[in-house]
Chains A and B, each alone.
Chain A
Amino acid sequence: GAVVSQHPSWVICKSGTSVKIECRSLDFQATTMFWYRQFPKQSLMLMATSNEGSKATYEQGVEKDKFLINHASLTLSTLTVTSAHPEDSSFYICSARDPPRGNTIYFGEGSWLTVV
């Protein structure tokens, strides 16, 4: 079964509003999670590293004030897209690794965001 879960699976929001996406590790503690974004017919692009109890580390070109990441517990990271615009419409995916299970990096189911 899934070890990393995302919610919601899809969301539609109005331009200018904010939307929050959750990523949970279901039966393990994840001190680090990763957020990716995928536009249609493109590859996954790493946005940021979510660190439990500290600030996220953003990849070059990703606006930290627009994509707020909070990793308040060992099983939950959230990504908030603030003041969303249509160009933010994308597939957002999180990932985490459970060291006792080995080196496999597990992905969540992904969250489709459509900004209208």
Chain B
Amino acid sequence: QKEVEQNSGPLSVPEGAIASLNCTYSDRGSQSFFWYRQYSGKSPELIMFIYSNGDKEDGRFTAQLNKASQYVSLLIRDSQPSDSATYLCAVNIYNTDKLIFGTGTRLQVFP
């Protein structure tokens, strides 16, 4: 079983819609969860991180964490074509700065 799993997509949504990206992880000891956005050929850039169960909002982005079910999600409201990218879910190995990445979900926002 992969440690961090994501649907590879592509996920296609119209401009202005809500995009929902999901991620599951296998290690119950995982403490920190990150969402990165990666444009083709570029390095990942951090969107959000979340540590506690529940929702965390930052502008158009909301991260949701459910440790009991071992999933973390990212909602993007009012999706824009510029949001089209691959979204990587990453999990922090306990007490280290090592990140284990999912395979990423490719998001396409069409006008």
Binding site for B on A (CB under 8 A): 32, 34, 36, 42-46, 49, 91, 93, 95-97, 103-105, 107-110, 112
Chain A residue nearest in CB terms to B36: A107
- Report if B30 contacts A (CB, 8 A): no
Say yes or no: A105 contacts B34, CB within 8 Å.
Answer: yes
Tell which of A46, A105, A108, A112 has the most Cβ of chain B within 10 Å.
A105
- Report if B88 contacts A (CB, 8 A): yes
Q: How far is the CA of A49 from the CA of B42 in the complex (A)?
A: 21
Residues of A within 8 A of B34 (CB): 105
Q: How far is the CA of A95 from the CA of B41 in the complex (A)?
A: 17
- Report if B99 contacts A (CB, 8 A): yes
What is the CB-to-nearest-CB distance from B51 to chain A, in angstroms, rounded to a whole number?
8
What is the CB-to-nearest-CB distance from A62 to chain B, in angstroms, rounded to a whole number?
13
- Report if B100 contacts A (CB, 8 A): yes
Say yes or no: B43 contacts A93, CB within 8 Å.
Answer: yes
Say yes or no: B46 contacts A44, CB within 8 Å.
Answer: no
Residues of B within 8 A of A104 (CB): 46, 49
Q: What is the total of A-B residue contacts with beta carbons within 8 Å?
A: 46
B41-67 with Cβ < 8 A to chain A:
41-46, 49
| Chief secondary structure at chain A's binding surface | strand
Number of interface residues of B (CB under 8 A): 19
Tell which of B34, B96, B97, B102 has the most Cβ of chain A within 10 Å.
B97
Not counting A104-B46, A110-B42, a sample of 10 additional A-B residue pairs whose C-beta atoms are within 8 angstroms of each other reads A34-B97, A43-B102, A49-B96, A49-B98, A91-B41, A93-B43, A105-B34, A105-B99, A107-B43, A109-B43
Say yes or no: A32 contacts B43, CB within 8 Å.
Answer: no
Can you pick out 19 interface pairs between chain A and chain B where the beta carbons lie within 8 Å of each other? A34-B99, A36-B101, A43-B88, A43-B102, A43-B103, A45-B101, A46-B99, A46-B101, A49-B96, A91-B41, A95-B99, A97-B97, A103-B32, A104-B46, A104-B49, A105-B34, A107-B44, A108-B43, A110-B43
